[in-house]
Amino acid sequence: MHRPSLTRFAWLSIAAAVLTIGFKASAYWLTGSVGLLSDALESLVNLVAAIMALAMLTLAARPPDEEHAYGHDKAEYFSSGVEGALILLAAVSIGWTAWGRLLHPQPIEQAGLGLAISMVASLLNFSVARVLLSAARRYHSISLEADARHLMTDVWTSAGVLIGIGAVILTGWERLDPLIALLVAANIVWTGVQLVRRSALGLLDTALPETERAVLRQILDRYGQEGVQYHALRSRQAGMRRFVSVHILVPGGWTVARGHHLLERIEHDIRQALSNVTVFTHLEPLEDPAAWEDTRLDRIDSQSITDVSADEQHRTG
């Protein structure tokens, strides 16, 4: 399966992060708002995460080799996991700075210009996030999705900061600014935890979503009309690639050719229903008791298998 290069989207994210950092740092320098500082720090995390995504997408695009026969797609989970950890680190930094400002409030200066600059940065982030999210859905890339979700969080975070600064201007209550920053930190923590969790699940070979497993069962159930049964249906996802394995049970009197053609049809149907999927099938006879014991990942040899092997040796001997 050919995997398209997604590094162009990572470069777009890097460029947006650099511009956003410049905008928000200027806004903080003009206003002295700790809320805008929290925004700028999160954009710095965006830059580091985008660089990490570029590295991992480059690695994930490499074709399978002798040591990585199943490809390098799982590299994307390292990218999203690192991004989640960086987000948590940024949240701690924001919270620490905001707490100090809450105890010792300071006035906000040149708020109008600072707000205008921050709004430009937010519009830039929103536009790039939409592009990345569309690409993530099209190519099933968790790295691009993590980047997009983070940028969208940044957009809503910026909106909260702008509301906080506006409230300070209207009310004159300077502690609103650090309070908003603390809420921003809490929101960032939630995003970071979710990204780390999804990355860990990907590395732990979590099964495909229930909706996709239902599609697999629907396809396999259709072949029951031909006297075919199945079990040991397993699935996992590695980045944009899906892996499915299943044992197909057919009447023992079938020829090898007939069984092979059946498996080809089943694999074709699954590939038509799910994109970027690698399918492994195993053919077994319905009448053999050992076939029904072969449902676990690690099979324990049964006595019937030993007996069959002994009979075959006796016949060939």
Question: Which amino acid, residue 23?
Answer: F
Query: Of 144-148, 219-223, 306-310, which range is least confident?
Result: 306-310
Is 179 in contact with 102 (CB distance < 8 Å)?
Answer: yes
DSSP state of 223: G
* The pLDDT of residue 315: 47
State how far the alpha carbon of 257 is from the alpha carbons of 219, 253, 263, 310, in Å.
Answer: 21, 12, 10, 26
Please, what's the b/e burial string for 53-80 (b: 16 or more CB within 10 A of its CB; e: otherwise)? bbbbbebbbeeeeeeeeebbbbbbbbbb
Mean pLDDT, the chain, as a whole number? 79
Reduced to 3 states (helix: H, G, I; strand: E, B; else coil), residue 109 is coil
> What is the reported pLDDT for 249?
95
Please give the average per-residue pLDDT across 219-246, as a whole number: 89
Token pair listed for 74: 């799982």
DSSP state string for 60-86: HTSPP-SS-TT-STTHHHHHHHHHHHH
The whole-number pLDDT of residue 225 equals: 84
pLDDT band at 309 (very low <50, low <70, confident <90, very high): very low
**How wide is the angle at C-alpha 273 spanned by C-alphas 268 and 277, nearest 5°?**
70
pLDDT of residue 316: 46
> What confidence tens digit (pLDDT) does each residue in 265-294 have?
999 999 999 988 999 999 999 988 887 877
Which among 197, 184, 180, 194 is positioned nearest to 92, based on CA atoms?
A: 184
Query: Residue type at 161?
Result: V
The CA distance from 181 to 87, in Å, is 14
Q: What is the domain partition of the chain in residue ranges? A: 7-203, 210-316
CATH class, 7-203 region? mainly alpha
φ, ψ at 300 (rounded to 5°) = -100, 125
Angle between helices 176-203 and 75-103 (to 10 degrees): 160
| The CATH classification of domain 210-316, taken from the options 3.40.50.720, 3.40.250.10, 3.30.70.1350, 2.60.120.260 | 3.30.70.1350
